[in-house]
A = this chain, B = another copy of it.
Amino acid sequence: MVGDKLFEENPTLYAFLPLFYMVWADAVLTPSEITRIKKLLEKQQWLTPEEKTFLLSFLNPTSPPSPNQLKSWLKEIKKTSDYLSPEMKSSLVEIGIKLAKVNSRSGTEETINNARKPLEDIEKALGVVSRESAYHFNSLVKRTTEEVGTSSVDHNEINKILDGEDAEIIRKVKTLLQDPVFEYYKGESIHEYREQVLEWCKLLAQQGLGGIAFPKSYGGQGDMRKYFIVMETLAYHDISMVIKFGVQFGLWGMSVMFLGTEKHHKKYLKDIGSLKLPGCFAMTETGHGSNVRGIQTTATYDHNSKTITIHTPTKDDGKEYIGNAALHGQMATVFAKLIIDDTDYGVNAFVVPLRDAKGKTVKGVTIEDCGRKMGLNGVDNGKIFFDQVQIPLENMLDKFGSINEKGEFASPIASDNRRFFTMLGTLVGGRIGVPKAGLSAAKSGLSIAIRYSNQRRQFGPEGGEEMVILNYRTHQRRLMPLLANAYALHFALDYVTQRFLKRSDDDIQEIEALAAGIKAYSTWNTTHTLQECREACGGKGYLSENRIDTLKADTDIFTTFEGDNTVLMQLVAKSRLSEFKQEFSDINFFGIINYLTDQAKITLTEMNPIIIRNTDEDHLLDSDFHLNAFRYRERDILSSAAKRLKHYIDQGMDSFDAFNQCQYHLFNVGVAYIESVIMEQFVLKVKSLEEGNSKNVLKKLCDLYALATIEKNKGWYLEHDYMEGAKTKAIRRMVNKLVREVRQDAIPLVNAFKIPESCLAAPIVTRI
């Protein structure tokens, strides 16, 4: 059937057929390799010269077999394949020998065995490539890569752990979002989109969600915690809606609530909560974003008329990016420098009308549309310029600073700056709402990408079914640590929320730093997660219908607004420096540094022989090891930053420059601190759970967060002799193991977010 009499005369020659097939089939063989095979053949004593010439003719590059010839060889080879055990199928030699035997007459056993040695030599020379090509011949090989059995994890149980005491309000919001009126806007018109988003916000206000944090006397529930949960849950839907919601009820509403006094509450809060009075929060100026203390808009008080005049000195001082400004806002909380008799009393807040009820801008107010943005195009951001706009004195939000009857400025806080930062401090809730909304977007992205990757098949063993892409190790490496991050941040944000709600004067500084740090860390994680999700879904991830596009574009600005992340991390670091000062208040600054350094040295010395090279699985998965490693890093980076700062200052550098010199270092102080907080909270959460499958899988996620983070920072740990190379390598292997294991439960773990299908709305996963 292979069509030559020599094969019939000496069936042993059949043993070479798989090899010849391979030469002309997929595996790339170079000319020098073909030469090598020729040489090996020529050495064989048991072949006749005629047979050698015949065999060599199969290797002639100038006369390759025809496609049909190649197909007939394959057909021949495959016949034998059924007689072979799976192990034998992975060897070209075994296949060849078997083929020869099948075609042989009796008594040729020895001749056939003669072929084994040269075949083995050739196979060795080809190495891995030959092994791989052997799979051409196997149509029924059983694969070991179908690794997903039935997960023992109950997504309902995990969902309960996630939702906790907030389950009821979460359920309410999710139910609401599934109403057909919340169908996504799919048109091209920004104008229509903005009106749709306003409409949605009105519906939410009707349900009492807008003013949920406002006092009961003004139509609210006085429940700040619920407000955060509402933000977080709404963020499974259109993010423009969440931001518009946050602008109206969080920024505009809460600036009146926290910076104003009873007269303002009475006058505005109810109408804000019902969205009868849409408003803005006008702080940022073109010239001053991060350095908001430097804003230039003026509010000049005239004691005769008891009025305040709001004015934008130059174009660069216009209020920019102001949500609700371009179209819908009727009033705004405007931040401006209060001037009384030519004296500047720092930044204060004022309620300023922008438009009448019909939408016409009032005299002196000019508003420009910010136009199309990367995302959040359902929010009407605008620029506002004030040309000598007069407001009555009562419009000053006077909780922290007021003008008395003598026309003098009065405040319980003497320093302008400290007063301003106290005012900002009351608004720090935005730094909790934003990362919570961002985390929800990341959860949506992970739900889409992980569910898709669990269906999408691509490549597979020759002759076998294609494999779901979530079974590929690189895919697991990309997505599973991000799933662990989502869980880690869920618990960490919950912790920060609780701390925020229970804050007092004693810990407010710590909590502000916590909120700043978690906002930065979490929103960067959202950007990173959604980028990976987009890529993990390939071309499907690029189609807008699958929503990763929008999730990503809408949340991209989260790393900038409510505080630029890089700037926030510096704040965290500065707070950490002064917090230590507090913790050791009876030793001086030098002492603190020495103390920290000594601490570090002692810890290191203690564990040196045992820990730094311990690669036992028990140890690597021990939460105490994780916590120690995170805390050690945090302390060491902090004390070395303090030392460097001191060094520069001692050299005569001024502090602004010294801080700039250490800026990258300080940035890492912030990150290390936040990672340490996240780690602690995750460990505490897992410890608090009842034994069972849910606890086990969350412990695995916790371990994955811990070890993937340590792996990310392994350069640092090795530099500081905290670990040896053998240990960091063992950690890498453990991360590989954990991503494989977590992958087994990945579907229930994303289902546990219970994101309504109508919100996910990605045809790649919801159409099935």
Contacts and interface: CB of A to CB of B under 8 A. Distances in A.
Interface in A132-189: 132, 135, 141, 143-145, 188-189
Contact of A144 (B412, B414, B657): B657
Nearest to A655: B132
A501 B416 CA distance: 67
Contact of A553 (B127, B374, B417, B462): B374
Nearest to A552: B374
A720 B541 CA distance: 38
A24 B655 contact: no
Contacts of A320: 539
A66 B415 CA distance: 8
Interface in A39-78: 64-71
Interface string A280-298: 0000100011110010000
A697 B32 CA distance: 44
A557 B537 CA distance: 11
A314 to B, nearest CB: 14
Interface in A60-110: 64-71, 87, 90
A417 B559 CA distance: 47
A460 B539 contact: no
Given A370-B543, A714-B719, A663 B128 contact: no
A599 B527 CA distance: 42
Interface string A117-132: 0000000111111011
Contacts of A303: none
A653 B556 CA distance: 44
Contacts of A645: 128
A685 B534 CA distance: 36
16 contacts: A24-B414, A24-B415, A26-B417, A30-B509, A30-B585, A66-B410, A66-B411, A67-B415, A69-B414, A71-B343, A128-B642, A188-B188, A373-B544, A474-B570, A714-B719, A715-B718
A297 to B, nearest CB: 17
Given A127-B589, A459-B291, A663-B472, A549 B373 contact: yes
A372 B187 CA distance: 10
Contacts of A657: 143-145, 461
A659 B461 CA distance: 11
A654 interface: yes
Nearest to A413: B64
Most buried by B among A65, A373, A415: A415
B33 A417 contact: no
Given A126-B589, A410-B66, A566 B25 contact: no
A66 B414 contact: yes
Contacts of A26: 415, 417-418
Contacts of A65: 414
Interface in A653-675: 653-657, 659-664, 667
Copies in the complex: 2
A227 interface: no
Interface in A712-755: 714-715, 718-721, 725, 728-729, 736
Nearest to A473: B663
A321 B545 CA distance: 13
A286 to B, nearest CB: 9
B28 A509 contact: yes
A67 B345 contact: yes
Interface stretch (A218-226, A257-265, A574-582): A574-582
Contacts of A143: 654, 656-657
A660 B578 contact: no
A477 interface: yes
A649 interface: yes
B145 A466 contact: no
Interface of A: 24-26, 28, 30-33, 36, 64-71, 87, 90, 124-129, 131-132, 135, 141, 143-145, 188-190, 284, 288-291, 294, 320-321, 343, 345, 370-375, 401, 408-419, 458-462, 464, 466, 471-475, 477-478, 506, 509, 527, 531, 534-535, 538-539, 541-545, 548-549, 552-553, 556-557, 559-561, 564-566, 570, 577-578, 581-582, 585-586, 588-590, 592, 642, 645-646, 649, 652-657, 659-664, 667, 711, 714-715, 718-721, 725, 728-729, 736
| List of 4 A-B pairs having minimum Cβ-Cβ separation, nearest first | A127-B589, A718-B718, A719-B725, A374-B549
Contact of A581 (B66, B129, B375, B461): B129
| Majority-rule SS of A interface residues | helix
Contacts of A401: 67
Given A371-B544, A372-B543, A538-B560, 12 more contacts: A24-B418, A25-B414, A30-B581, A30-B582, A33-B582, A65-B414, A66-B414, A68-B343, A87-B652, A124-B590, A188-B372, A549-B553
Nearest to A188: B188
Contacts of A560: 535, 538-539, 541-542
A719 B472 CA distance: 26
A409 B409 CA distance: 94
Contacts of A71: 343
A505 to B, nearest CB: 9
Contacts of A284: 539
Contact of A715 (B535, B542, B715): B715
A135 B585 contact: no
Contacts of A471: 660
B542 A32 contact: no
Contacts of A25: 414-415, 417-418
B542 A581 contact: no
Contact of A664 (B141, B477, B667): B477
A290 B537 CA distance: 12
Contacts of A64: 412-414
Nearest to A189: B188
B654 A461 contact: yes
B414 A474 contact: no
A744 to B, nearest CB: 15
A549 B553 CA distance: 9
Contacts of A472: 660, 663
A474 B67 contact: no
Given A67-B416, A125-B589, A189-B188, A542 B566 contact: no
Contacts of A545: 371-372
Contacts of A728: 715, 718-719
A725 B722 CA distance: 11
Nearest to A539: B321
Contacts of A720: 725
Contact of A588 (B127, B477, B478, B570): B127
Nearest to A462: B656
Contacts of A552: 374
